[in-house]
Structure 1
Amino acid sequence: MTPLHIPTPLISHAPLSATQGRDVLLKMESLQPSGSFKLRGLGLMCQRAVASGATHLVCPSGGNAGFAAAVSGVALGVRTMRSSARSAEVACCAVSCRACTATACTRCR
């Protein structure tokens, strides 16, 4: 499975390195297609779900996790729904409707 995330650079932080007495490196995850590290884990989870037969992805997050799921859905060619926790109709993530077991999910039942 080819990862959906990209390699990101490590950058040395001189002031922190000086105060800690060792090299402190910062990982530049903001360069990911989704803008955060969340694509690393969610991307793999979405890939596995689609490989197992998921026909669409659902993520009850309007934040970085939801955006990572949306980026994954576009890359995988499947429909994706994301919403904030207050308005989330479903509480499942990266599952096909036939596999959903979330009690709050009214679309799957």
Structure 2
Amino acid sequence: MKLNAALKKLLDSKQYKEALDLFDQKFEIRTDFTIDMAIKACTMSKDYKRDFNIQKRLSSNSLNNPFIQVSLIRLYMQYGDIDSATRLFSSTANKSNYIYTAMFKG
């Protein structure tokens, strides 16, 4: 998908704001992969408010995606939002090594 490639290129070149702007413009054609990249861009750019807005628009299927869960836990831990990280960790049905690592390393 062209959106995935464009977002990855922007992230690789550390153009996080531009990546998030593109994600917002193309939100209706997002995939879980593009959502994961957008959350990572929020983490790298320290844009917690924008991440919160992304989360509000996600489906329950996307919120149950293990890759998105790991990215969200990392974001929460980076911002010291341990309560949100713990809630998400506790609600995760299938805890992988990645989930544990995100929770304990941040």
TM-score, normalising length from structure 2?
0.29
Structure 1 or 2: larger helix share?
Answer: 2
Structure 1 or 2: larger strand share?
Answer: 1
TM-score, normalising length from structure 1?
0.28
Structure exhibiting the larger radius of gyration computed from Cα positions: 1
